[in-house]
A and B are shown apart, each in its own frame.
Chain A
């Protein structure tokens, strides 16, 4: 019912594209609930405003789809597979596995986009979460409050990778929130001047994610 109540080809005014066909970039229609579309609008707006001005304006966002007929959140119109975020001068391409690109600035850009997605979607499954997501970011709004959950593999692998890329740690990306991960997360929160209540306060966690993204998109360590 509500899963396809909205059919749209832009989010936040930015054109949607499909990049998995031939010719490779096609205009794309996505379907979802109205509420989920609004979250995508916010996410798109964050992508535009968090990026440095030299990126240029957002050109398009490529997706592999939102609603599709399958179990859980895609089937409920509450999930979105993100393939590419293209600004005028640069792009973040999960589709091209930028999470493991040789260039640090591209990996950091991926972390920045990943962080901004987490400000609106509890489950963000990225290239470090598992092999199935090596070529896209899965975003959905299940999973409860927008806080950091130490028991969620998707949250923990993200923080571990962010610590490695943004403060030079060498954490094992295993999704297990142990003392080393906790210490590294502690340092990152201190560096962006955010209190430590990220597991209980969505507002604080989202503030941390914003500041992390701003640094990552500028290829600056914390």
Chain B
């Protein structure tokens, strides 16, 4: 007896689905070769989409993440990670103002320019050393300087006239991995860390923070390495008048280092406990820092008039989402701008006071 045509089709479809299901289960069952003594049935992978929170939150301050329009990358920054941001002064590129961002795409150095902070154009990178991701950028009146590195070696210094094309310079004198850069009081200042000197760089952990300075961006001078803390990272540097602040963090939380002429470097931990500090910048009055609490990813801003006493404020976790990376913050023409990345690509945040932020594009 023959079946009606539509029923036969349905049976074929069901059979194909069943075959696919069996094949999928078979793959899962054989995908992990196990030792005899290790009953190693791997926990099932969470099938939820990328950048999702796999459980409910612990408190009312639950981090939440998920695809939304706000999570998308700024135009021209799809797939990018932004590590540094700076302004572009009047007088360059036909008198226009704008922004320059540096970072990486697919692990390779990349830079961008933007007139409005919303739409970005890729810059030209004039070298084959693309594996060196850009880590920071700063602007002097007639020169832009960026630092790049591959994590395992000392950073290299790159220059650009207007941010649209970048070239490396040779023999800069830098022996550290640099994470932050600022131009203030006619000088460039860079902060970073040194990998343990006589130990192999297993894990790549650093033990000492360092500051370099340079008058023109070409030759760099070692300034200090007085930041000896256990396994710390020195994330950013800011200068206002004679006061220099360096942000850092280690597994216990954040440490802000402050230096004024005639005084020793002082470490400030009050208010920074159990948090990472990703960026610090000068503002119209004093300084502002940006970071997260470690355990629940709550974003924070810290403000200070003098660099020594800091006040902490919670930021909106929908603006700095749990899966966002925050890499740098700087002040440009009385505005604060932070950059980083979401799983979709580069993200730019803006603020007028450091306490209320708007997420790009």
Partner-B contacts on A (CB < 8 A):
1-10, 12-13, 17-18, 20-22, 26-29, 31, 34, 38, 41-42, 44-46, 49, 64-65, 67-73, 75, 79, 81, 123, 125, 129-133, 135-136, 138, 140, 142-143, 151-154, 203, 206-207, 210-211, 214
Contact = CB atoms under 8 A, between A and B. Distances in A.
Contact of A46 (B40, B45, B196): B40
Nearest to B177: A71
28 contacts: A1-B341, A1-B343, A2-B343, A6-B50, A7-B65, A9-B53, A9-B54, A18-B274, A21-B273, A21-B294, A22-B273, A27-B296, A28-B294, A29-B63, A29-B322, A42-B43, A46-B38, A49-B40, A65-B276, A68-B276, A69-B325, A70-B233, A72-B203, A72-B204, A125-B202, A152-B200, A153-B200, A210-B37
Contacts of B196: 130
A8 B54 contact: yes
Contacts of A136: 251
Contacts of A4: 51, 322-325, 341, 343
Contact of A7 (B177, B207, B322, B341): B322
B278 A69 contact: yes
B52 interface: yes
Interface string B334-352: 0000000101010000000
Give the interface SS of chain A, mostly helix, strand, loop or mixed.
mixed
Nearest to A121: B203
Interface string B39-70: 11111011000111111011100010100000
B54 A10 contact: yes
A12 B40 CA distance: 12
A41 B42 contact: yes
B97 interface: no
B323 A7 contact: yes
A123 B341 CA distance: 27
A71 B294 contact: no
B54 A7 contact: yes
Contacts of A132: 205, 207, 230-231
B326 interface: yes
B54 A6 contact: yes
Q: A31, A69, A203 — which one has the most chain B CB atoms within 10 A of its CB?
A: A69
B24 interface: no
Interface string B117-156: 0000000000000000000000000000000010110000
Contacts of B58: 9, 26-27
Nearest to B344: A1
Contacts of B54: 6-10
Interface string B81-121: 10000000000000000000000000000000000000000
Given A9-B54, A26-B296, A65-B294, 7 more contacts: A6-B50, A9-B58, A27-B296, A64-B252, A68-B233, A69-B233, A123-B203
B191 interface: no
Nearest to A138: B203
A20 B252 contact: yes
Contacts of B76: none
A131 B208 CA distance: 13
Given A18-B274, A29-B53, A70-B233, A7 B203 contact: no
A153 B253 contact: no
Nearest to B234: A70
B283 to A, nearest CB: 21
B184 to A, nearest CB: 23
B10 interface: no
Contacts of B200: 151-153
A79 B203 contact: yes
A7 B53 contact: yes
B204 A142 contact: yes
B206 interface: yes
A30 to B, nearest CB: 9
B360 interface: no
Contacts of A21: 273-274, 294-295
Contact of B55 (A9, A64, A142): A9
A36 B202 CA distance: 18
B242 interface: no
A29 B132 CA distance: 30
Contact of B39 (A9, A29, A49): A49
Contact of B38 (A22, A69, A72, A210): A210
